[in-house]
Chains A and B, each alone.
Chain A
Amino acid sequence: MPGTAFHYHKLFLNDGLITSGAYKLTLEMFFQNFLNALQWGSFYALIALGYTLVYGVLLLINFAHGDIFMVGAYIGFFIASFFLGSYAFHLPFALSGNVIFVFTVIITMVLTAGVGVTIERVAYRPLRKKGAGRLYVVITALMCGLVLENGNLALLGASRKSFPDLIEKSIYTIGGVTFTNIKILVIVTTILVFLFLEAIVRKTKIGMAMRAISYDRVAVLLMGIPLDIVIVFTFILGSSLAALAGILFVTAYPVLEPYMGAMVGWKAFIAAVVGGIGEIRGAFVGGFILGFIEIYVAAVFPSTLRDLIAFAILLLLLSLKPTGIFGIARAQKI
């Protein structure tokens, strides 16, 4: 299988995200990279949130999540092109870029949630009903991801697509640190999404049901909680988050290709585990930790060492705290 995702990923990091080449870390550089790391970590955090949501409820590593992120980006691309009138059908009136962006985000989130729920319905639920082992569901998830990736490659071809510029980019400079409005948008959105999810999981009834399912799936049914509805809701939340991350990602780095989700997805999963999987806070913090490590490692060392050092640090973190930063080791009853 082609390893395009890997080169592609590297390409991004060298493409203006990092002010690399400078090996001495000045204060300006530090703040510049701080912003970059916040943005880069935001993507990891957004995807990791989706992983952790599904894991928190089903104890299932949804390996298709990275590819749902990719599907979201593609759906967003087609919807944006549709609104911009790239196809035969034209809207009778022209919309401004920002309005199109909002519409694109909303419609993409709905459609991608549909994709996520379909996968749950077709692949995961029958296995769950059969009471198959957890690992079989994980393998099914991996396979679903492969189908999405390669189905996309087969249908749309290997050529990269470029996402249209919907939001007009404006660049601000404060004290030698430059940033764009897109960067701010990404970071603020991620923080808002995190607060929103925390509120849902901690404060609402359905959030309580989600937490309850992960504790005891049998007792939950006895308490009259509709298991399937809560699980579908979780998948809707997770997939629409992935779609949001996908659109933000291609707004920041406007290249789409079928393998874009694979590498980011695996790394976001690692981030979620480092934070303590199943914990919303954990995914958020883990995503940013990974973002910071990657950006600063690439800023100080040659960027080829990035993966090596990043994963070595994560491994060290995990061996110091085996259940992740916020994870709580569940007491085992004998």
Chain B
Amino acid sequence: MKRYLPFILYGILCFVVIAGARSGLIDTYQQLIIMFIGINIILCSSLNLINGYMGEFSCGHAGFMAVGAYVTSILNVWLFTSSQIFGEPVLSPVAAVFLFPVTLIVGGIAAALAGLLVAIPSVRTRGDYLAIITLAVNYIVKSSIENIQVIGGARGFMGMGKVVDSMTGVLNLPWVMIWIFAFTAFCIWVLNHFVNSTYGKGIIAIRDDEIAAEIMSVDTNRMKIVAFTLSSGMAGVAGGLFAHVLGYINPGSFTIMKSTEIMVMVYLGGMGSLSGSVLSAVSFTLLMEILRPLQVYKWVLIPLLLIILMLFRPEGIMGNRELTDVFPKLRRFFPSKEL
């Protein structure tokens, strides 16, 4: 029973939020923030796998997010809506309710394939050279999308609003929010089990000492490829959700700035701490919204706050500990954390 308690509590939380959204107690602005928190949790924890657990420096996460966002959006618009680009819907718009998660996962797979672009050179290079490769891949993805005129090029791509409409037409629920809740929980669950499994511990071994890991029969090349594809796949799913929250995407949303934002969340939360990633994604998103009235000064204040944080607590909120390490009583509920 205790094993399932976190899931039950999370389920109740989701139910309350969805009920609140449905009844109008939580207005659309607050819903938007809640959805962004979910997306940021996925992005941050997936990047933490690379930058935190594996100790590499990937600074192009937004590129994979863009791949997922575009693939999912194009699939959905093509399949379920009548648009100028693709004409009549291929399937009945009603099917969107069931197939939406499928398209999200397809987007994730596409992003994971793009992640191979980074993963394969990562076998040969490490550190700063790998950082550059991720950076270049981010530019390449953005620039490629800008040059494909069919999907709008630099003007962006829209029509996802109709997909969401056709889903709410079947059953009036905040569908995008539901799927964000579901995928956030799924990603955290997968990552938690992955990094705590014997197989996944190879990733932490790579961070600590790659050569020693290799000697201890960890297939480092394979681990790196697995980590990169897993992480970029999750970023792709987050991108697909992001596209459907906004209903409009353009290549300008997936620049280095976006990657930096995700990176900041990872280091704010602490490298190699999943609960730290969740905490920092929540607090960073909220902080951004609270400081919104400051307008341009917001972007002076937030970096300054982070510099001060780095000076006094360079390891981030949680360091590489988990909440269960700080509050050992919580350990009862997360038996997988037992070492």
Contact = CB atoms under 8 A, between A and B. Distances in A.
Contact of A143 (B133, B255, B303): B303
Given A139-B263, A315-B136, A319-B124, A266 B299 contact: no
Of listed B121, B252, B299, residue having the most chain A CB within 10 A: B299
Interface string B284-322: 000000000000110110111011001100110000000
Interface residues of A, number: 47
Main secondary structure of the interface of B (DSSP, over half): helix
Contact of B135 (A136, A149, A270): A270
A305 interface: yes
A175 interface: no
Contacts of A314: 132, 136
Interface string B110-136: 000000000001001100110111011
Interface string B151-177: 000100000000000000000000000
Interface string A282-312: 0000000000000000000000110110011
Interface string A139-162: 110111011011101100000000
Nearest to B298: A150
Interface in A1-19: 1, 3, 6
B57 A266 contact: no
B257 interface: yes
A171 interface: no
A254 interface: no
A150 B300 contact: yes
Contacts of B334: none
A72 interface: no
Interface stretch (B5-13, B141-149, B191-199, B234-242): B141-149
A177 interface: no
Interface string A308-334: 100110110011001110000000101
B326 to A, nearest CB: 20
A6 B255 contact: yes
A305 B314 contact: no
The prevalent SS among residues of A at the interface is helix
Contact of B57 (A6, A135, A315): A135
B304 A147 contact: yes
Q: Which of A135, A139, A314, A319 has the most CB of B within 10 A?
A: A139
B300 A3 contact: no
Contacts of B279: none
B314 A127 contact: yes
B271 interface: yes
B147 A304 contact: yes
A315 B133 contact: yes
A146 B303 CA distance: 6
A127 B140 contact: no
A23 B317 CA distance: 55
Given A139-B306, A146-B299, A270-B136, A127 B57 contact: no
A127 B129 contact: no
B256 interface: yes
B137 interface: yes
Nearest to B209: A334
B17 to A, nearest CB: 29
A3 B304 CA distance: 21
B311 A126 contact: yes
A266 B59 CA distance: 11
A277 interface: yes
B91 interface: no
A323 B257 contact: no
B252 A322 contact: no
B80 interface: no
11 contacts: A6-B255, A61-B128, A136-B315, A142-B260, A143-B264, A154-B297, A270-B136, A314-B132, A315-B121, A315-B136, A334-B211
Given A146-B300, A153-B299, A315-B133, 18 more contacts: A55-B128, A123-B307, A132-B310, A135-B51, A136-B315, A138-B57, A142-B264, A143-B303, A143-B304, A143-B306, A143-B307, A150-B296, A150-B297, A274-B132, A304-B143, A304-B146, A307-B139, A318-B129
Interface of A: 1, 3, 6, 55, 61, 123, 126-127, 130, 132-133, 135-136, 138-140, 142-144, 146-147, 149-151, 153-154, 266, 269-270, 273-274, 277, 304-305, 307-308, 311-312, 314-315, 318-319, 322-324, 332, 334
Which 5 pairs between the two chains have the least Cβ-Cβ distance?
Answer: A150-B299, A143-B303, A132-B314, A308-B143, A146-B303
